[in-house]
């Protein structure tokens, strides 16, 4: 038997249950992964809360997109991965975000399609590997979507979070000048990444204008304030993208980020090169997933929360 986190109704972290399950057999094109570490992302508590009700998934559901572990078995048709190999898992890549009943990583063993995994580079720790999907992947994909180069000045909203800090690091590595909005407590962190920090609670537009014109905007938080700042500051011909689309971004014609098929591979490569580093806040036992989701929901955790089976 194995253990997993499960929920039978939408709600807050209190609806999560710690239950037994049978270790799954990998189907055709799948591998069985024994999770060593699991990453917690904001999408997880939103999935449990039922935010994505336009296409509800059947219960029971298991949260989680991200993990890293060791392949214990391979299904038929799998030739590019082997038993004993360490991999990084982005289990809901190219699946509907409402698929709460499928592919959740908050469990000890996970059967996952090989299209949702990449080999874990030996130079990437299990903590860093678990932190890459889906936040760092989204940050990379925003920069890729915008085609950022050394000629750009990129504005990143929510620059100190998992998505935003990844976007900052990737853009800086490409030679771009980066301006990042965040709370003052995170300004030293942004400076350490090579960004110019701006207090999101201040008059963002005026402060950013004093730093010079921007050529592109990547929004990792969404909401009226960040969209309004982007619309005001971005010149005609500039590019904008959001990782959290809402009515405000839709009204401003700011598109959702496009995710290239090789995004997890590219992010793992950048991590192995030392270009991308995930700020880890804490590691909790998998059985304390409710605590992790509550801390993620409040938005005050100073980095990635991890769960250890």
Grade residue 245 by pLDDT with cuts at 50, 70 and 90.
Answer: confident
In the predicted structure, residue 3 carries a pLDDT above the cut 80: yes
88: nearest Cα among 142, 48, 51, 128: 128
**Alpha-carbon span 126 to 258, nearest angstrom:** 27
The pLDDT assigned to 55 comes to 62
Cβ atoms 177, 197 nearer than 8 A: no
The pLDDT assigned to 56 comes to 66
Once rounded to an integer, what is the mean pLDDT over residues 205-210?
Answer: 94
pTM, 2 dp: 0.94
Cβ-Cβ contacts under 8 Å for 142 (sequence gap 6 or more): 163, 167, 218, 220, 241, 243, 257
In the predicted structure, residue 302 carries a pLDDT above the cut 90: no
Q: Walk me through the domains of the chain, giving residue ranges and CATH numbers.
A: 2-120+279-308 (3.90.180.10), 135-251 (3.40.50.720)
DSSP summary character for residue 52: -
**Alpha-carbon span 207 to 200, nearest angstrom:** 10
In the predicted structure, residue 45 carries a pLDDT above the cut 90: yes
Once rounded to an integer, what is the mean pLDDT over residues 140-158?
Answer: 98
Strands (E), 158-257: 177-182, 196-199, 216-219, 239-242
């Amino acid at each position: 038997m194995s253990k997993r986190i499960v929920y039978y109704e939408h709600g807050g972290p209190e609806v999560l249950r710690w239950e037994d399950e049978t270790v799954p057999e990998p189907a055709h094109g799948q591998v069985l992964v024994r999770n060593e570490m699991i990453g917690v992302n904001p999408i997880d508590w939103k999935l449990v809360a039922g935010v994505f009700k336009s296409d509800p998934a059947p219960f029971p559901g298991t949260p989680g997109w991200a993990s890293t572990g060791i392949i214990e078995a391979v299904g038929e048709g799998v030739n590019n991965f082997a038993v004993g190999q360490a991999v990084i898992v982005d289990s809901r890549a190219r699946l509907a975000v409402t698929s709460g009943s499928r592919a959740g990583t908050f469990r000890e063993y996970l059967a996952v399609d090989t299209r949702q995994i990449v080999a874990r580079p030996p130079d990437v720790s299990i903590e860093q590997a678990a932190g890459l999907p889906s936040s760092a992947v989204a940050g990379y994909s925003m920069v890729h979507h915008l085609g950022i180069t050394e000629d750009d000045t990129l504005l990143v909203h929510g620059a100190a979070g998992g998505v935003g800090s990844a976007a900052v690091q990737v853009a800086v590595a490409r030679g771009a000048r980066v301006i990042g909005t965040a709370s003052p407590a995170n300004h030293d962190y942004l400076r350490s990444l090579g960004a110019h920090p701006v207090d999101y609670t201040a008059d963002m537009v005026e402060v950013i204008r004093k730093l010079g014109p921007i050529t592109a905007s990547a929004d990792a938080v969404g909401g009226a304030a960040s969209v309004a700042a982007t619309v005001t500051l971005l010149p005609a011909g500039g590019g904008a993208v959001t990782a959290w689309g809402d009515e405000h971004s839709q009204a401003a014609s700011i598109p959702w980020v496009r995710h290239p098929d090789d995004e997890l591979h590219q992010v793992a490569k950048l991590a192995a090169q030392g270009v991308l580093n995930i700020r880890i806040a804490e590691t909790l036992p998998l059985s304390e997933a409710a605590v992790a989701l509550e801390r993620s929901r409040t938005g005050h955790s100073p980095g990635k929360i991890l769960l250890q089976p």
